[in-house]
Every structure is written in structure tokens, then in C-alpha cells.
Homo-oligomer: A and B are copies of this chain.
Amino acid sequence: MRYKAGLETRERILGATRSLVAENGLDGTTIKAICQLAGVLPGSFYNLFASKEQAIVTVVREAIDAVDPDPDHHGTDTLQDLVAAYVRFLEESPELSRVYIRIGVSGAGSSPELTGRMVRHHQERVGRFAAAMKRQSPYLSDSLAERRAETLVLALNGIALHRIIDPAFDVAWHARALLDDAAAVS
């Protein structure tokens, strides 16, 4: 793949894959549907991607990376910053965030590649939340901060998940509620 046309086609295919995974999930996304939406025939798809899974993995990786768009803040973010960034991601990138929730939160199911990436992502995320917590409450033990951070991250995921069922759901309000609860304790 070196010509301009190929790169454009690749982007159209990834866009179609993104939409379809966001809408229908992993199993509901077929090559035929991707090709129709991208205006491409199967031959072109397989000229650019080795398999359906490769295209999907690319899109999911994209979504997982997008959750944390500015890793440079590492070490300075507050818990509020982290939660706000997540809410912003959910609200400003609806398609990517649906992909993230469907696959990153609910589980990849089959693909070990995705499962591994997902688990690592979760651990890193919990680590960042825990660090922010410790910065705010230095007397918290490491293990307690870690567990509280994990509770918060998973609760946020649960809230984000509900938006797939109810798109009108007020994610920001509920995220703030969680944050306030956590703050009240520490």
C-alpha cells in the first residue's frame, strides 16, 4: 500500500468499520456491510487488510488510545481532570466511545489480542486514577488507593455503558455524582 488511492480507501474502510462496530458490536459487523458503507468491494478490502479482525483491532486500538488523549499530563492530573477527560471523550467522540464501551469495557469476547490490550489499558488507567487519589489524599495506603481507584473506574464504565442503551442518558451528571461520593470519603 503506497499509492494515495489505497490510503484513502483504507480510511473509508476504517470509518465504516468504526460506525458499524459502534452500532452493532463485533459480531454484528460483517465484511459485506463494511464494504457497502465504504463503497468498496471485498477484493479491495482484502487488498488492504489481512482479515476482518485486523480492521476491527485497528479501530478498537484507536478507541482505547482516544480515551486518554494527553498522556503528558501524567503525574499532574487531579481526579477531577481524569473524570472530566473521560466525560469529554464520551460526549465529543460518540462513535469512538461507543466502540470503546462495547469492546473495551464489555470484553472482546474472542480475540486474545484485544483482550490483552484491554486488560493492560485497564490496569494503566486504574494506576493513573490511583496516583491522582494519592496526590489528593497522601495518607491513603497504596493498596487502598488502588482499590478505590478501580472502584471508581469500573463505576464510570458502568455509567458509560448505559449510554449504549439510552443515548439521552446524562453521563456527566452521574460521573460527577460518583466523583463527589469519592471525594466525600477521602
CB-nearest residue of chain B relative to A162? Answer: B154
Q: A28-B110, A147-B177 are in contact. Are A154 and B154 (CB under 8 A)?
A: no
CB distance from A149 to the nearest CB of B (A): 10
Interface residue? A57 (CB, 8 A): no
One of A2-10, A73-81, A132-140, A178-186 at the interface? A178-186
Interface residue? A42 (CB, 8 A): no
Bound-complex Cα distance A177 to B145 (A): 11
Which among A110, A161, A177, A180 has the highest number of chain B CB atoms within 10 Å? A177
Complex interface: chain B residues within 8 A of A119 (CB): 165-166
1/0 contact trace for A151-186 toward B, CB 8 Å? 100111111011011100000011001101110110
Set B122, B148, B154, B185: member contacting A159, Cβ < 8 A: B154
